[in-house]
Amino acid sequence: MSEPKFLELLNEISSACEKIGIEKLEAKNTELKIQMEASDFWSDNETASKVVKEQSNLQKRLDFWRGLLMRAKDIVELEKLDDESISEELSSQFKQLEKEFAKAKRELQLSGPYDDHEVIMSIFAGAGGTEAQDWSGMLLRMYLRWAEAEGVDAKIIDQSPGEEAGIKSVTLELSGGSYLYGKLQSENGVHRLVRLSPFNADNLRQTSFARVEIVPMIDSPDEVEIDEKDLKIDVYRSGGKGGQSVNTTDSAVRITHLPTNIVVAIQNERSQLQNRETAMTLLRSKLAQLQLEQHKDKISELRGPNEQAAWGNQIRNYVLHPYNMVKDTRTKYETSNTQGVLDGDINQFVESYLDWKIGK
pLDDT tens digits for range 142-172: 999 999 999 999 999 889 999 889 999 999 9
Pick the CATH number of 119-217+310-357 from 3.30.70.1660, 3.40.50.10860, 1.10.150.110, 3.10.450.50: 3.30.70.1660
Q: Which residues contact 38 (CB under 8 A, 6 or more apart)?
A: none
Q: Does domain 228-301 have CATH number 3.30.160.20?
A: yes
pLDDT bin (cut points 50, 70, 90) of residue 241 is very low
Percent pLDDT > 90 in the chain is 49
Same topology for domains 3-109 and 228-301, yes or no? no
Helix (H) or strand (E) holding 352: helix 347-357
Task: Work out the number of other CB atoms within 10 angstroms of the CB of residue 199.
Answer: 14
Q: Which residues contact 101 (CB under 8 A, 6 or more apart)?
A: 9, 12, 13, 16, 68
Please give the pLDDT value at position 128.
76
Mean pLDDT of the chain: 86
DSSP designation for 214? E
- Nearest CA among 314, 318, 312 for reference residue 335: 318
Residue 68 in this model has a pLDDT that exceeds 50: yes
Exposed, middle or buried: residue 334 (CB in 10 Å: 0-12, 13-18, 19+)?
middle
Please give the pLDDT value at position 20.
83
Domain edges within the chain: 3-109, 119-217+310-357, 228-301
Residue 242 in this model has a pLDDT that exceeds 50: no
Please give the pLDDT value at position 224.
84
Please give the pLDDT value at position 93.
92
Exposed, middle or buried: residue 23 (CB in 10 Å: 0-12, 13-18, 19+)?
exposed
Helix (H) or strand (E) holding 128: none
Strands in 205-216's sheet, in edge-to-edge order, are 153-161, 167-175, 119-125, 205-216, 189-196, 314-319, 325-328, 334-335
Phi then psi for residue 234, to 5 deg, are -120, 140
The Cα–Cα gap between 194 and 325 comes to 10
The Cα–Cα gap between 224 and 288 comes to 7
Pairwise pLDDT comparison (106 vs 32), residue with the higher score = 32
Helix (H) or strand (E) holding 156: strand 153-161
CB 291 within 8 A of CB 300: no
Strand partners, 236: 252
Instruction: Give the three-state DSSP class for 240.
Output: coil
Residue 233 in this model has a pLDDT that exceeds 90: yes
Hey, which bits of 185-279 come out as E strands? 189-196, 205-216, 231-236, 252-257, 262-266
Instruction: Render 285-327 in DSSP notation, one character per residue.
Output: HHHHHHHHHHT-SSGGGPPPP-HHHHTT-EEEEEE-SSS-EEE
pLDDT bin (cut points 50, 70, 90) of residue 239 is low
CATH number of this structure's domain 3-109: 1.20.58.410
